[in-house]
Every structure is written in structure tokens, then in C-alpha cells.
Amino acid sequence: MSKLEIRKKRTRAVRALALGLVSGLTMTGMVSVNADETCLSPYMAKITGQEDFAYIWTLGAVGVGDEQDKLVTVDVNPKSPNYGKVVDSLSVGGRNEAHHSDFTDDRNYLWAGGLDTSKIFIFDVHSDPAKPKLHKTITDFVAKSGGVVGPHTFYALPGRMLITGLSNNKDHGGRSAIVEYTNQGDYVATYWIPTDSDLRGAVKAGKYADGYNYDVRALPRRNVLISSSFTGWNNYMMDFGKLLSDKEAMKHFGNTVVVWDLHSRKPKKVLDVPGSPLEIRCAWEESHNYCFTTTALTSKLWLIYEDDKGEWQAKAVADIGDPSKVPLPVDISISNDDKRLWVNTFMDGNTRAFDISNPHKPVQVYEKHIGAQVNMVSSSWDGKRLYYTSSLLANWDKKGKDNEQFLKLYHWDGKELKEQFAIDFNKEKLGRPHQVRFGAYSLYKSAAEARPVELFAEFQRR
């Protein structure tokens, strides 16, 4: 046997092993344990204990510090002498409407986007987790993607990064797509959201097929992706007060959730979820084939679920606060046992816990005021620590004394949230903190848990 034949045989063996391992894990549901923050990709390497750092993707603000977007690193290990303190701040130049961020599947790099400029910043967080480095900036996202504007959600697949866009460069409305890149930052493909005029093979289940986009999550065990919908650049860059009084602008919000084939990235079904469905959080237990989302404009908790016939459906299952007061639900976080869902509402600054033991009949069991405004919540895998940030969008944040900008850590004992520390981002001249992601030294000491995913990534590269 020649050296070339031997090499080819080894390559085929690696491919077979990788595909078998990942397919087996996915089918049994085991892959779902490989995540710490409960809203992250199940393909991601896991923090096995206490997180060491919180990375906060932060909007630059006029008259505050250097006025630039930045990645702020906070030490969150209680055993550290720097506990609760900012240990690093890395500015990226300008104000890009910093919004969401997330890691590659190996967790070595953190991708972060700007909704205004459509720039993507890739940070090296593995060389020194306490001091991230700007590894690469993608400036041609709009051109490469075929006109997608506003990179929002970053979602890790093996060797790949899925990116949801919120808008487009033709009319800056809500028509958009999901864009796929390699972990190395190379463009792969664009998958446009179905519309009435171009369903792209999907079945329209109700009244809407608007083509709008926002968040995306996967249920690998069901070979399913779920995407939600929001609004375009014209609206999210508008002053919030002006937007609310503009009757025409208020008509341009998404009303759909789309069910996709995970492997082929093809849309299968368009579901009506009126009122702008935002974050999606999917159940972890292998027999729980459902996800939750909330509607910002109607203050409803919605269940996206697979029925007894294997068909995906959507229904409103609970009110969030008093919908008539438009509390504006924003971020949500599901517990790893699928029994609790945290829901933040921006306008009243509250967080609420829902008992979702019966996903078809959620019940609110707890409520706490976090601040004048609150946006994102990140829960540790054990459910004992919840991190809250304040900023929604630069032009949507409250003004004057209600323009609180903070990171707050709370401990949850099963009955009460107890504040551990708070950092005033205005006082520290850092800007508007939007989203939190966790870092830990332990991630880079052992790669054993991530090995199946690494093998599959190798399979894809070959």
C-alpha cells in the first residue's frame, strides 16, 4: 500500500470516527450537556466549575470615557483578590452598536457584532482569558453575505459560526437572512428567511411569512433550527420615543418563527408568533422537544413545540406582567433541568421566574426589581448565579436618571436573588453594557470533553 493510500485510509477513518461520535451523541442527547450558560450552543466546550471571568460586550457612549465599543473583562471568581472588579477593557474603535457575542465551538474565540456598521470583531480569549486580544475584524460582512445588515446572534456549530442578520442594504427593513462562516472567519453561505413571494420550500402555517430575523437556536437531537424575528435597521437605530409614536414604523416588526432543517439549513415551516418574538431558549432534556420565546410588543410567553404527530407548532402560554403596560420582555434564560425560565422586562426593570415544569402552562413564581432598566440575563449552568446587564440599544435606553448602566451579579438560593456585586459602567466610564459571556482558565487545561466536536470539525475541514 502506497503512502498516499495509507493517508487516504487514515483520513476516511478519522471522518468515520468523527461523524459516528457526534451523530451518536446527538441521537442520545448527550451532546446537550456540553454547555455552561444555559442559552449557549450544545456543541460548545463546557466550563466544569466556577467561571473566572465575565466578558461584557459594551456600547461606546458619547461623552463617556473613550466613547468606543469595547470588550470589558470582569473577575468573577470569589476566591480572586480582584473579585467583582474590571481587570481589562479592550476598545475596538468607534461606535458600531455593539450588541451580541458568542464563542466558537472550541471556545477559543469570541465573535462580537455591531448592528450599525455590520463589523464583526473576533477576540482571542484562550491565549490569556484575563486579557482578550482582538484577533480579527471582518469588515465585508454585508458584501460577502449578499446584502445582509446587522449581525446579531452568533451561534456555534462544529467548525462553523451561524450569524443572524437583522436587516438588509436595499431598504434597511426587516428582510434578512442567516449567514454561515467558518471558525477561521471565511464566508460559507447565506440562507434567506422565507417570505410570501419566496417560501424557499417552507410551508406557511399561518398568516405571515415576513422574512424577518433575530435569534437562532438548535435542537440537534431533532435536526432542527429555530429562528425568530425582530425589526430592521430603520427601526432599531431610531430614537425609541420617536419609534413608538410612528404608526408606520410600528407596523414593521416581525411576526414569525421559522423551523429549519439543521443539517441542510433549509426552512421547513413558518409559524405565526405575532408581536416580535425575540430570544429563543430550548429545553435540554432529550425527550423535551420544545423551545420558548417572548414577544416584545404583546408581552407573551410562547411555546414552540413538536406535537404528537411530529409537527412543529406555536402557541402563547402565559402573559408576562401586565401586557397593557407594555413591559417589553427582552432576554430570557432557561434552567438546565427545564423547570425554570427567567424573563427580563426592560421598561419596568424587573426579572421574573416562571415555573415551566409544565411547558404548556407556565406559572410566575418570583419577581424582583433589578434597576431602572434591565436587558440581558446570563445564568450559570448550576443555576446559582445570574448576571444582569442594562443596555438594550443606544437609542432605546432610557434617559436622565433612569439611564442606569450596570453589571450586577446575583446568587439564587432557590427562593431569593441576593446581590453580590454591582459595577456602575457610567461611573467607571466604560459605556453601555449589553451582553455577558463567561470565561474560565479550566477550559484550556483539558480538551477531553470537547474531543468529539473537535473530531467533527476536523472531518468538515477535510
| Alpha helical stretches, state H, 58-170 | 141-145
Grid cell locating 55: 466578558
Q: Which amino acid is at 396?
A: W
Q: What is the pLDDT of residue 66?
A: 98
Q: What is the pLDDT of residue 1?
A: 52
Q: What is the pLDDT of residue 45?
A: 81
Q: What angle do CA 9, 14, 15 make, to 5 degrees?
A: 95
Asked whether the whole model's pTM tops 0.85, one would answer yes
165-171-173-174 Cα dihedral, nearest 10 degrees: -50
* Spans of the chain, pLDDT less than 50: 3-35, 447-462
Alpha-carbon Rg of the chain, whole angstroms? 21
Q: What is the pLDDT of residue 443?
A: 83
Q: What is the pLDDT of residue 37?
A: 79
Q: For the purposes of burial, counting CB atoms within 10 Å of the CB of 401, is it exposed (0-12), middle (13-18) or buried (19 or more)?
A: exposed
Grid cell locating 50: 466556577
Yes or no: say if 159 and 106 are a contact pair by the CB < 8 Å rule.
Answer: no
* Integer CA distances (angstroms), 273 to 19, 43, 230, 316, in order: 35, 27, 11, 8
Look at residues 349, 292, 281 and name the one whose alpha carbon lies nearest to residue 318: 292
